[in-house]
Structure 1
Amino acid sequence: MPSIRNVAAPYWAEFIGTLVLTVVGLGVTAQNLTSTTTSKTEALNSSLAWGLAVTLGIWTSEHVSGGHINPAVTLSRALFSGFPATRVLCYLASQTLGAFTGALLVWVNFGSALGDLPKGKGVHPAAFAFITAGDTWTGLVGEATAAFIFVLAVFAITDNTSSAKNIAPLAVGLAFTAASLGVSSPLGLAVNPARDLGPRIFAALAYGLDVFAEGSFYFWVPLAGPIVGGAAGAFVYEWLVRRDAEYHALEEGAAH
């Protein structure tokens, strides 16, 4: 009979993997926000850093939980590749708590420098080290598009027949960097609901509840956009790409 530790292991792995992801990614975001020398390279170093953060987070958790570290991936797996529905809520909670704790660690490291940022009206500028914000429609399209590309790549890379399966964490990280460079960098998108919600809750505690009202209540955009885009990416791979590939593989086998 499995022990509590055995049952909890996948959720701890998702918590720790998302924590690693968030510490690395938000750490670079905080550096960009407090530095006066990175403005010309911000989009590039942010995209590379978040890609590496994804790689490290997956390497940390993959062998125990599958290395989702992203609610959009978890929900897409549940919808299209047989991930147990009974685990979904605990995965989402673990990912969000991991991102919240990662934000706390980033604040411990950068809190003093962030606190020195000049404050104007509205949300404290330090909060933008933790949250995303922008135009609602542009952000929603960007989140959905980036998540579509990213989750499509995740499903392709982790397919049992994929040549990239053996280096999946690195390949998935590169896919995130590619999606970020192509779509999200200028907009500061999340492409991961936990990456925004967990740190946003922390920012609300640290800097005020206005972080939820920022940008005409923009907070729902990085929650809905990646889930919709990720599900679309998973659908395209599972129902259009993989099934067609299986058909052609069978045809080639029969020909031989």
Structure 2
Amino acid sequence: MASIRNVAAPYWAEFIGTLVLTVVGLGVTAQNLTNATTSKTEALNSSLGWGLAVTLGIWTSEHVSGGHINPAVTIARALFSGFPATRVAGYVASQTLGAFAGALLVWANFGAALGDLPSGQGVHPAAHAFITSGSTCAGFVGEATAAFVFVLAVFAITDNASTAKNIAPLAVGLAFTAASLAVSSPLGLAVNPARDLGPRVFAALAYGFDVFAEGSFYFWVPLVAPVVGGAAGAFVYEWLVRRDAEYHALEEGAA
């Protein structure tokens, strides 16, 4: 039994860490949708809220699983920093299920208020508390750019030589806030395939499967673009920044 718990622990940690991330982040989004007084500060509220959500999610899981809580980070780690490929599918599944469970908890808290939002044709407005949407082309560029910056920062912050390593969860959360403020609209950024897919599946069950057709089938953008941008960011750090720094350190040592 103990060995089973040890094997399962990282996956549970990713599940719970992503659940914490999603409860806090989607909770902020739901409050923005249901509280008319936040309209002028919505972008700032959303970016800060999701940044804190990332920090709390990593703090919850970092010591057990590494605190990926994001398939884009997991895949980048597998490609460029030696994370076992055999664990990728389990991590991604755990993250997506955690995000689904987080969406359920947010709905339990805000479901009544979200249900009161005026609805018309198309997807129910309450679904936007759970999904991202926008122009497919612009959304892909935005997601990939934000993920590039975010994952590059994650690799830099968690590098053993980094002075930020001791405060990594907070620093990574601030990196997400910075990327969000710079790139996204308040409801249009995921940078995390699990953050969109898990809640989107929940929204489909709660409000209708047209959430997958929203925005000309926008759903694939937050699944693919963060992985592409994140891999590029990891490549730039591992093969350009870190190796260049190691080369200069060796040169200085030889001198």
Work out whether the TM-score is over 0.5: yes
Alignment of structure 1 residues 231-250 onto 2, 5 Å: 231-250=231-250
Give the unaligned 5+ runs of structure 1: none
Evaluate the alpha carbon distance shift between residue 121 and residue 186 of structure 1 in structure 2; reply closer, same or farther with a 3 A threshold.
same
| Inter-partner Cα distance in structure 2 for 1:2 and 1:16 | 20
| Inter-partner Cα distance in structure 1 for 2:185 and 2:213 | 22
| Inter-partner Cα distance in structure 2 for 1:185 and 1:135 | 11
| Inter-partner Cα distance in structure 1 for 2:2 and 2:239 | 36
The alpha carbon displacement at 1:186 in A equals 4.7
Alignment of structure 1 residues 103-118 onto 2, 5 Å: 103-118=103-118
| Inter-partner Cα distance in structure 2 for 1:80 and 1:141 | 22
Alignment of structure 1 residues 29-108 onto 2, 5 Å: 29-108=29-108
Give the unaligned 5+ runs of structure 2: none
| Inter-partner Cα distance in structure 1 for 2:186 and 2:18 | 23
The alpha carbon displacement at 1:185 in A equals 3.2
The alpha carbon displacement at 1:2 in A equals 6.1
TM-score normalised to the size of structure 2? 0.99
4+ residue runs over 6 A deviation: none
| Inter-partner Cα distance in structure 1 for 2:194 and 2:186 | 20
Cα pair 2:30 2:129 within 8 Å, conserved? yes
TM-score normalised to the size of structure 1? 0.98
| Inter-partner Cα distance in structure 2 for 1:225 and 1:89 | 18
Cα pair 1:23 1:106 within 8 Å, conserved? yes
The alpha carbon displacement at 1:188 in A equals 1.7
- The 3-state SS of whatever aligns with 1:40 is helix
Seq. identity, %: 89
Whether 1:191 aligns to 2:186 is no
Letter aligned with residue 62 of structure 2: E
Alignment of structure 1 residues 208-247 onto 2, 5 Å: 208-247=208-247
Cα pair 1:47 1:185 within 8 Å, conserved? no
Cα pair 2:128 2:187 within 8 Å, conserved? no
Aligned to 1:168: 168
| Inter-partner Cα distance in structure 1 for 2:253 and 2:67 | 33
- The 3-state SS of whatever aligns with 1:169 is helix
Aligned to 1:159: 159
| Inter-partner Cα distance in structure 2 for 1:185 and 1:166 | 31
The alpha carbon displacement at 1:212 in A equals 0.3
The alpha carbon displacement at 1:57 in A equals 0.2
| Inter-partner Cα distance in structure 2 for 1:97 and 1:67 | 15
Letter aligned with residue 21 of structure 2: L
| Inter-partner Cα distance in structure 2 for 1:2 and 1:158 | 30
- The 3-state SS of whatever aligns with 2:16 is helix
Q: CA RMSD in A?
A: 1.0
Aligned to 2:21: 21
Evaluate the alpha carbon distance shift between residue 48 and residue 224 of structure 1 in structure 2; reply closer, same or farther with a 3 A threshold.
same
Aligned to 1:143: 143
| Inter-partner Cα distance in structure 2 for 1:81 and 1:158 | 11
Letter aligned with residue 16 of structure 2: I
Aligned to 1:252: 252
- The 3-state SS of whatever aligns with 1:161 is coil
| Inter-partner Cα distance in structure 2 for 1:184 and 1:195 | 15
